[in-house]
Amino acid sequence: MITFDQVSHTYPESAQPTLDRVSFSLSEGDLCLVVGPTGSGKSTLLGAINGLVPHFTGGRFSGQIRVDGRDTTKHRPRELADLVGYVGQDPVRGFVTDTVEDEIAYGMEQLGTAPMVMRKRVEETLDLLGIAELRRRPLTELSGGQQQRVAIAAVLAAQPKVLVLDEPTSALDATAAADVLSAITTLVHEVGLTVVLAEHRLERVMQAADSMLWLPGDGSVRHGGVAELLAQANITPPLAALAQVLGWPTVPLSVREARRRATGIQIRPRPETPTSHTELAVGATDLQVRFGEIKAVHGVSLELFAGTITAVLGRNGAGKSSLLWALQGALTCGGEIEVAGQDPRRLNANQARRLVALVPQTAADLLYLPTVEAECGQADVESEASPGTTAALLTRLGMQLPPDRDPRDLSEGQRLALVLAIQLAAGPKVLLLDEPTRGLDYQAKAELHQILDQFASNGTAILISTHDVEFAAATSQNLLLMADGEIVAAGPTADLLTSSAAYSPQMSKVFSPVKVLTVADVAAGLWDPRP
Amino acid sequence: MVLERTQTLKSLHPLAWWAWAIGIGIAVNGTTNPLLLALIALALVWVVLLRRSSAPWARSVRAYLILGGFVIAMRVFFQIVIGAKTGDTILFALPEIPLPDWAAGIRLGGPITAEALAYTINDALRLAVLLLCLGAANALANPRQALRSMPAALYEASAAVVVALSVAPQLIESGQRVLKARRTRGTNTKGLRSLASVILPVMADSIERSMSLAAGMEARGFARTRGLPVRGSLTLMISSSMLATLGAFVLLSTDFRLLAVGCLVIGLVGAGFGLRLAGKRLAVTRYRQQPWRVRDTVVSGFGLLAAVVVLTIGGLNPNDLSASLLQWLDPQALFPSTDPLTWPQLSVPMLLVVGLVAAPLAVTGKDRIDVTESVRNDTMVRSLRPKAEILVTS
């Protein structure tokens, strides 16, 4: 179905080829996963399938790609639209029309599908993705998971033979991600589509995949079976890490398989971390945030302690972001907030950031200067810190960023580190992070984990809102579960995550009922038969 | 949350509403009679309130009413402060500020006359009702839906307009987001620098946004062509539109009516034909395009008729008419004199115009269908079900 033959591509402004003499072929009806660290060329590879690379992006391209016999160098993406359906990273940005039904029909309109056929296909597609009740809703009012499903429906309606998806779940909460991924696997099994899927959170899709493309980051691509490639790849979803720890030759692809293999392995439960309630850093009682008619946060009380990391989990739109912004003092809201004896709502921006720092969801919003060095210098001025403070912080975070680099050219992980350094330059007692793991690969997440641990051990109280259960399990000591603007559960991470079905990390599923959260717990708890 | 519901029986082709509103707009432009204008405005609001849908754009009429009020208030304010003084009926006087000689002709303050004020109000009211026509069309027909009904040759242009329409809300959204994020970095920067700190991320964001939109449209087959453009369609379109322009020019400025109308008609037909030819190049089809039905023609006819009535009466020369006809048609009542002040009069044709504005109410009711009475009529059961209308849940 898809054949790459000696494909190389170099972007106009770069010296290194992103793809270097790549050859592989995918057969019809396959679900193929594309994995690799950020910046390894996953998006380039996906874009090449429908010709966006090089027709749209430019750059030097050589080799040949054939999709169902059509050569992508000779056909523009629009001429491949009937063959390849492409859903980009952020579905909202690719929407052309304003309502669900129109958006689904759009692709077919371009292909000149007869109106009667179009009418029928829209109905079928609405049912296939389970979005029939949304048909007349404006696209902007939908939740992230719904938008993602509409975007998939919109390309499916044109009945392509190949579906290309670039990280379809990166912005979604666990449940919505599961919805979208199960819709995709249904499509593979029942419609016979060939699906090429780039995904950071492998733990949910690897069991359904037929093959895997691994991009190590040097421009090469390796194609092979999922289990065999995961055993050698530097991509480590929890189950792959578990296989390494336990010395299994291949990686179990599902929790079920791992459970079967793990029978008989004795694991000590994770040691109870003594809840050393140190100094109270943030106390909030009865917080109420309203936007018009909507109660975003409703009667939330919480306490954050110095030196502990707390995670907030919850659906998209559960009020996590509003809670963070309220704690920073940026929102007009009801209730009491006390940080080091002060109310951040009553402080001006400069004073507030010395108490509470916030890293917003789109961290790039904070950056506006042309180089990393200039951003660091500006941050020193803003925090009235001695020159070099931010640059030193950046080094302490383990990031050696070239000072003359444009912040917009950095990878997601590097940019996050830069923003963290900028915000921490003011020396705040409390650090709030809104969805920091979005777009980060496993390695970048591990680095972020280390950074956060470091600051927590220096006495900073940290609150992270996230969709990533595995990250929350690895990083946090305390956990808040939010739903519909309220906190529905709060307590130590180990207790809450092991007792929840929707929010339990894979290790706890594998070794249930033994209380373990991460592969590190398993490694520490391994029953050593030697005395 | 808006639940799916079965189609309403009252929907009219969006272009029909626009044609109706444009016709009324032309009529409004042809009069300054405040009584007539007020009655037209009332009729417009009445039609909108009864026939608008529940969609978000249908709530826009309030905004247009406020805008109209603002227009009148501004005109009156400027008339009072710096307007020319005509007439003798002084209502009150403001202290006049003497200006140097080079500003001759401009007066600040001074006496306010009833004549000047009446003239200004009449004129401003005309503009306000014109705006209201636009608002009514907006509220009754989705502007995007109207653009979808354009001929295929204009497809690319209308797609550009649709995309442009979504730019403003997106810019506002990302501007607010960046500003909010910006504050968490403190506010030490001032002046140009702080402006740059907001504008640069917003710009970068909107460029990225438009790039991904363009990629999305390209990937989904936008501007796929079926073949090369039909030879000569461009020449045909350009020459016919030139002919139509010439026709319009001749019609308005000379007395060669027949020649002018001939040019105009041939030009318009040629342009239409050229558009059709050019449209064949694209393979585009339309999803659920609303059919143009008889009542769409009727409703647009009402608007056009209103325009024709006002323009015809306005174009009559009072000296050519017999006394009884003059009294009945009364062309001068369209532009009541404000110096000397007279009370505006309503004539029979004016009432006809107001009737035409409200007339869509009569034809846009529910579709009538021939029904066969069911012997076991259970229609009642359905009507007892809770209505799947709009449920706004917070």
Q: Where are the domains of chain B?
A: 14-150+293-318+333-364, 233-279
Amino acid at A283: G
| CB within 8 Å of B164: residues ≥ 6 apart | none
Looking up tokens 């109310």 gives A343
**Cβ contacts (< 8 Å) between A367 and chain B: which residues?**
201
Q: Are residues A52 and A186 in the same domain?
A: yes
Which residue in B2, B188, B197 is closest to A381 by CB distance? B188
CB pairs under 8 A between A and B: 174
**Is it true that the peptide bond before A54 is cis, omega within 30 degrees of 0?**
yes
In which element (H, E) is residue B274 found?
Answer: helix B257-279
Percentage of chain A exceeding pLDDT 70? 98
Q: Residues 198-227, chain B: which have Cβ within 8 Å of A?
A: 198, 200-201, 204-205, 208-209, 212-224, 226
Helix (H) or strand (E) holding A19: strand A19-26
- Other beta carbons within 10 Å of A500: 16
Tracing tokens 């109308």 back to the chain, one arrives at: B261
Q: How far is CA A321 from CA A175, A418, A466, A482, B158, in A?
A: 18, 21, 10, 11, 37
Distance from CA of A10 to the nearest CA of B (A): 19
Does residue A322 belong to any structural domain of this protein? yes
Query: Residue B329 — φ and ψ, nearest 5°?
Result: -85, -45
Q: What is the DSSP letter of A324?
A: H
Largest CA distance in chain B: 90
Can you tell me which residue has the tokens 């229609």? B379
Question: Which residue of chain B comes nearest to A105, CA vs CA?
Answer: B287
Tell whether A266 is covered by a domain. no
| Whether residues A448 and A357 fall in one domain | yes
Any idea of the CA torsion for A350, A352, A354, A357, to the nearest 10 degrees? -110
Distances (CA, A) of B262 to A242, B245, B274: 85, 12, 18
CA distance B50 to chain A (A): 22
Closest CA to B127 of B80, B75, B77, B81: B75
Q: Which of B184, B190, B197, B198 to mutate to test the interface with A (most CBs of A within 10 A)?
A: B184
Q: Is residue A271 part of a domain?
A: no
Q: Are strands A280-291 and A84-87 parallel, antiparallel or unpaired?
A: unpaired
Question: What total number of domains does chain A contain?
Answer: 2
| In a shared domain, residues A209 and A334 | no
Contact B235, A92 (CB under 8 A): no
Residue A328 shares a structural domain with residue A436: yes
CB A419 within 8 A of CB A412: no
Q: Is residue A384 part of a domain?
A: yes
Pair A31, A168: CB distance under 8 Å? no
> How confident is the model over A91-104, as a mean pLDDT?
86
A311 pLDDT band (50/70/90 cuts)? very high
- Strand A294-305 to strand A356-359: parallel, antiparallel, or no bridges (unpaired)? unpaired
CB contact under 8 A, B200 and A368: yes
* Cβ within 8 Å, pair B181-A360: yes
Three-state SS sequence of A101-164? HHHHHHHHHHHCCCHHHHHHHHHHHHHHCCCHHHCCCEHHHCCHHHHHHHHHHHHHCCCCCEEE
On the question of pLDDT at A275 being above 70, the answer is no
Q: Is the separation of the CB atoms in A427 and A385 below 8 Å?
A: yes
Three-state secondary structure call for residue B376:
coil
Q: Which residue of A has its CA nearest to B1?
A: A137
> Using a CB-CB distance cutoff of 8 angstroms, which residues of chain B are in contact with residue A98?
144, 166
Mutate to test the interface with B, among A96, A118, A433 (most CBs of B within 10 A): A96
Tell me how far apart the alpha carbons of residues A155 and A86 are, in angstroms, rounded to a whole number: 7
Could you say which DSSP state residue A15 is in? S
User: Which of A83, A65, A72, A71 is closest to A23 using CA atoms?
Assistant: A65
Report which of B163, B17, B150 is spatially closest to residue A98, judged by C-alpha positions: B163
Query: Is residue A431 located within the same domain as residue A338?
Result: yes
Residue B368 Cα to chain centre, angstroms: 30
Burial of residue B97 (number of CB atoms within 10 Å: 0-12, 13-18, 19+): exposed
Task: Quote the pLDDT of residue A201.
Answer: 75
Distance CA B259, CA B238 (A): 20
- Res. A7: pLDDT tops 70: yes
Instruction: For chain B, positions 274-293, list CB contacts with chain A under 8 A.
Output: 283-289
Residues 6 or more apart from A311 whose CB is under 8 A from it? A463, A464, A465, A466, A471, A472, A475, A476, A478, A479, A480, A493
d(CA B168, CA B175): 10
Measured between its terminal Cα atoms, the distance across chain A in Å is 56
**For residue A264, is it within any domain?**
no
- In B, which residues are within 8 Å of A138 by CB distance? 56
| Tokens coding A18 | 């992103």
Q: Which of B6, B165, B220 to mutate to test the interface with A (most CBs of A within 10 A)?
A: B220
Find tokens 């029978």 and name the residue.
A263
Q: Could you tell me which residues come within 8 angstroms of residue B393 by beta carbon, excluding any fewer than 6 positions away? A: B1
**For residue A162, what are the β-bridge partners?**
A84, A194
B368 burial via Cβ count (<10 Å: 0-12, 13-18, 19+): exposed
ipTM: 0.82
CB contact under 8 A, A110 and B226: no
A389-396 and A372-383 are packed helices; what angle lies between their axes, rounded to 10 degrees? 120
Q: Which long-range contacts (CB under 8 A, 24 or more apart) does A442-447 make?
A: A442/A200, A442/A235, A442/A236, A442/A237, A443/A37, A443/A234, A444/A37, A444/A38, A444/A411, A444/A412, A444/A413, A444/A416, A445/A471, A447/A398, A447/A413, A447/A417
Residue in A110, A111, A356 to test binding to B, most B beta-carbons within 10 Å: A110
Per CB-CB distance under 8 Å, the chain A contacts of B212 are: 88-90, 93-94
Domain span holding position A163: 2-238
Task: Give me A272's structure tokens.
Answer: 């109870």
Mean pLDDT of A337-346: 89
Query: In this structure, is residue A276 part of a structural domain?
Result: no
pLDDT tens column, A63-77: 999 999 999 989 989
Q: Which residues pair with A311 in a beta bridge?
A: A464, A479
Closest CA to B310 of B37, B28, B34: B28
Q: Is there a domain that residue A251 lies in? A: no
Q: Give residue A431's pLDDT band: very low, low, confident or very high (50, 70, 90).
A: very high
Chain B contact for A290 (CB, 8 A cutoff): no
Same domain, residue pair A353 and A229: no
Q: Output the pLDDT for position B229.
A: 67
**pLDDT digit string (tens) for A152-197?**
999 989 999 999 998 888 777 777 788 788 888 888 888 888 999 9
Is the Cβ–Cβ distance between A158 and A111 less than 8 Å?
yes
Q: CA torsion sign, B222 to B226 to B232 to B233?
A: negative
Within a 10 A sphere around the Cβ of B37, how many other Cβ atoms?
21
Q: What is the DSSP letter of B319?
A: G
* Cβ–Cβ gap B284/A110 under 8 Å: yes
Contact A365 B197 (CB under 8 A): no
**Using a CB-CB distance cutoff of 8 angstroms, which residues of chain A are in contact with residue B198?**
368
Q: Is A405 exposed, middle or buried (0-12, 13-18, 19+ CB in 10 A)?
A: middle
**Do A218 and A305 belong together in one domain?**
no
Residues of chain B with pLDDT below 70 are 1-10, 54-57, 104-105, 143-145, 165-166, 187-191, 226-229, 366-369, 382-394
Residues A427 and A508 grouped into a single domain: yes
A242-280 burial by CB neighbour count: b if 16+ within 10 A, else e? bbeebebeebbbbbebbeebbeeeebeebeeeeeeeeee
Q: Is A407 helix (H, G, I), strand (E, B) or coil?
A: helix
Q: Which residue has the tokens 């919003």?
A: A365
Whether residue B178 contacts residue B202, with contact meaning beta carbons closer than 8 Å, is answered with yes
Query: Which pairs count as long-range contacts for A132-136, CB under 8 Å and 24+ apart, including other chains?
Result: A132/B4, A133/B3, A133/B4, A134/A100, A135/A99, A135/A100, A135/A101, A135/B4, A136/A99, A136/A100, A136/A101, A136/B2, A136/B4
pLDDT category at A530 given cuts 50, 70, 90 is: very low
Residue A180 forms part of a structural domain = yes
Instruction: Verify whether the Cβ–Cβ distance B286 to A109 is below 8 Å.
Output: yes
CATH number at residue A373: 3.40.50.300
